[in-house]
């Protein structure tokens, strides 16, 4: 979770009380950070569930694939939740999950039962906060 102070403006728009233009002191919109925090927390939770429910996560292609699949599932869910941008060409979330094979892992990591070979990236979907409408009236 981020340790960033959030600033909100509470207003009534179209008869509905709502938060308007919530942003951090650094200028980032709160909804973007909430999405990032959701992804981080959900990946941590799901990896912990995997670790707790599996008899053993083997330090091989099978175990690494389990970890990859867990993170991929979270990022697919984040895409469905509107956090991750959808790739218009594929219809899938615009993210990547990368893993390092055991063969390319330092022996010290294997000896300590640590896997440091997983990384991911994604593109935020963003949000529209205002709309400008142009029109023409013909006589």
- Return the pLDDT at 23: 66
Task: Give the residue from 46, 47, 19 showing the smallest Cα distance to 34.
Answer: 19
Q: What is the pLDDT of residues 27-68, one digit of tens each?
A: 777 778 889 999 999 999 999 999 999 999 999 999 999 999
Q: List the beta bridge partners of residue 19.
A: 10
Angle at 55 between CA 49 and CA 59, to 5 degrees: 90
pTM: 0.81
- Return the pLDDT at 28: 75
Number of H helices, E strands in the chain: 3, 4
* 3 state DSSP class of 24: strand
Beta pairing class for 119-122 and 6-13: unpaired
DSSP letter, residue 87: P
Q: What is the pLDDT of residues 1-36, one digit of tens each?
A: 445 554 455 567 677 776 666 667 777 777 788 899
Angle at 67 between CA 45 and CA 118, to 5 degrees: 100
Q: What is the pLDDT of residues 119-128, one digit of tens each?
A: 999 999 988 8
The residues spanned by each domain of the chain are: 31-122
| Encoded tokens for 131 | 């709309």
């Amino acid at each position: 979770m981020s340790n960033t102070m959030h600033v909100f403006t509470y207003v009534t728009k179209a008869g509905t009380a709502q938060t308007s233009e919530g942003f951090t002191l650094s200028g980032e919109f709160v909804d973007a950070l909430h999405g990032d925090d959701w992804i981080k927390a959900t990946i941590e939770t799901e990896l912990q569930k995997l670790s707790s429910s599996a008899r053993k996560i083997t330090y091989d292609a099978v175990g690494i694939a389990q970890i990859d699949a867990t993170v991929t599932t979270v990022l697919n869910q984040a895409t469905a939740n509107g956090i991750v941008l959808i790739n218009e060409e594929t219809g899938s979330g615009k993210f990547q999950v990368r893993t390092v094979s055991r063969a390319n892992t330092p022996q010290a990591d294997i000896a300590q039962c640590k896997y440091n070979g997983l990384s991911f990236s994604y593109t935020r979907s963003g949000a529209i906060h205002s709309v400008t409408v142009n029109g023409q009236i013909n006589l």
